Structure 1
């Protein structure tokens, strides 16, 4: 079989299951039609510049077909690695970070790594080292900007750190994986301005984080560029009840009522919708409401929520790939991941009364 020929559909590949012999790298090489050295390069993630992308893909397909699993214990001893990454997030009850984990774990599994999740809901307190020694148990850390202050003890382990949704100007990490949050908020503002809205209420997160600072700056900048717009900001904890109370106080307050409510997250938007209904008004007939994240909640609301879709799983994939690149001495990708507006029925032209 020629090198690079795909084993799929050859009929020669058989899966090693049950009580049969454990497949070896020699078996992978035979099915893929390559040398054992090539298999070692690909499955050891050292193939770039030595093996073509097509051949690397063929080897990985062959390994999956026959059920090959590398001896991670032997490899770890040989490489001096534990092949384990730590993912530090505020809480796995947050759907966004659950998807981040899914993406990171998928890439990790393709490279013989595991991912340990460390939820740190108390973002203001230092996270305790979850191991006797993080440096002995881990190869690196992936962390959200919302858990930045909880990393002080773990950073003492001098492990490579990849930050998610964080300020690259901090330069405290080996790599940064960011979404184009500013563009997402600009898309929201442009959408509402085109509908004719000029009076805005921003239900902003009360949690101090770079990502929420970016949202506020981007929204303010987009609205400042259009004459005749007004913007009022209220802050809320990241839950439905707090957002309802914050929006209710703002809507019932003195002065002209906003025609559009821009929220830093979908849960905040759900609270804003409840506040509108509490006042006997309707979304979007009287007030348009937007969210940010595009969680399952966005399409469960009635009316369905206009929001910004954040590719959370892709964030996890990029973060794990960045950590692997740092460990291998390669430069990780630095471009921001794009986001997109999802216009649904919670937004409409402003009510004329």
Structure 2
């Protein structure tokens, strides 16, 4: 028996009750403003029912587009970036785009272009939480670039999508002050990036004029580094801080371990807060008070902005994405 003929765009048009031109618009991602979202969905549903697959190689040669974008993140093992990728990939799929995931060098050096020519292999780049000079290899290819959780003043990016980390730090500082804490240690990320610099400035501003003492110690973004940093400040029994405010949940978990090793109770003797609301924040005891960052929403908004750039639209400067404080058992009033 002969194999069933491969469905064509004409078959899809007949199934969906539209013209072949409409099918071409939908699969060329040029339907926005020309046909309704309902019609576009009906065309994709008809294609799925028939098992139709557009000839991407031929279309790429014709349009000069690869329908592929790259998401660059600082680490593949961080749960935050996994959630971010999920959101970005979801929006990309809605627009017929593939996403290549690429980790930037951990030592802060420029990211190596994994292709002989990124311009020949990619349509655009979405990059999260890193300095713009890390992306020099891609910038040289003239690729459309959207930055996430990065300096909005960056002239290389078409636009930047950010979390409202200033408000997040303000929320956690206000929470500690309301509990009565006036000796606070900031276990700050030992990372030279815009987002952590902004957090430090926001915390200093939130505590300014309150009479609170602020001590800052820096640590790499690991549990063990957080433990060592917390031990450093908690050893000072004379002016021991009553609260440890950490830039990252893993640092906060390290601080919990430090307190336990020193015979201190959390939150009775010292309060501890984190930032991100990773799964580990509710897996430890006591559960962490932390700032929840909606990573999936960041990925979705970032990819939406990149799709707009690829369509030669101006995405503008979107408002910062709200964050929220999640109060759990690791914070309480300071000891008398």
State the alpha-carbon separation in 2 of the partners of residues 348 and 20 from structure 1.
69
Stretch deviating more after TM superposition (23-32 or 244-253): 23-32
Q: 2:62 aligns with which of 78, 84, 93?
A: 78
State the alpha-carbon separation in 2 of the partners of residues 323 and 304 from structure 1.
37
* 1:55 is the counterpart of 2:39: yes
**CA offset at residue 133 of structure 1?**
1.3
State the alpha-carbon separation in 2 of the partners of residues 201 and 307 from structure 1.
15
Secondary structure of 1:246's partner? helix
Q: 2:315 aligns with which of 332, 340, 343?
A: 332
Secondary structure of 2:325's partner? strand
Q: 2:252 aligns with which of 244, 250, 269?
A: 269
C-alpha distance 297-23 of structure 1, shift in aligned 2 (>3 A): farther
C-alpha distance 99-123 of structure 1, shift in aligned 2 (>3 A): farther
Alignment match, 2:334: 350
Stretch deviating more after TM superposition (114-123 or 269-278): 114-123
Secondary structure of 2:116's partner? coil
* Contact 2:217-2:229 at 8 Å conserved across structures: yes
Alignment match, 2:139: 155
Alignment match, 1:234: 217
Alignment match, 1:15: none
* Contact 1:124-1:149 at 8 Å conserved across structures: no
C-alpha distance 70-314 of structure 1, shift in aligned 2 (>3 A): farther
State the alpha-carbon separation in 2 of the partners of residues 351 and 275 from structure 1.
18
* Contact 1:23-1:68 at 8 Å conserved across structures: yes
Aligned residues between the structures = 333
State the alpha-carbon separation in 2 of the partners of residues 65 and 296 from structure 1.
38
Stretch deviating more after TM superposition (240-249 or 170-179): 170-179
* 1:124 is the counterpart of 2:125: no
* 1:194 is the counterpart of 2:178: yes
Alignment match, 1:171: 155
CA displacement, residues 97-130 of structure 1 (integer Å, 9 cap, x when unaligned): 1222222222222222221122123242122221
State the alpha-carbon separation in 1 of the partners of residues 184 and 41 from structure 2.
51
* Contact 1:123-1:148 at 8 Å conserved across structures: no
**CA offset at residue 147 of structure 1?**
5.4
**CA offset at residue 267 of structure 1?**
0.6
**CA offset at residue 66 of structure 1?**
4.4
Alignment match, 1:305: 288
**CA offset at residue 50 of structure 1?**
1.9
Q: 1:111 aligns with which of 95, 100, 109?
A: 95
TM-score computed with the length of structure 1 as normaliser: 0.88
Secondary structure of 2:127's partner? strand
Secondary structure of 1:122's partner? coil
**CA offset at residue 344 of structure 1?**
1.3
**CA offset at residue 20 of structure 1?**
4.5
Secondary structure of 1:217's partner? helix
State the alpha-carbon separation in 2 of the partners of residues 190 and 64 from structure 1.
52
Query: What runs of 5+ residues in structure 1 fail to find an aligned partner?
Result: 1-18
Stretch deviating more after TM superposition (288-297 or 19-28): 19-28
TM-score computed with the length of structure 2 as normaliser: 0.92
Query: What runs of 5+ residues in structure 2 fail to find an aligned partner?
Result: none
Secondary structure of 1:188's partner? helix
State the alpha-carbon separation in 2 of the partners of residues 323 and 156 from structure 1.
18
**CA offset at residue 254 of structure 1?**
5.7
Secondary structure of 1:176's partner? strand
Secondary structure of 1:235's partner? strand
* Contact 1:104-1:317 at 8 Å conserved across structures: yes
Alignment match, 1:40: 24
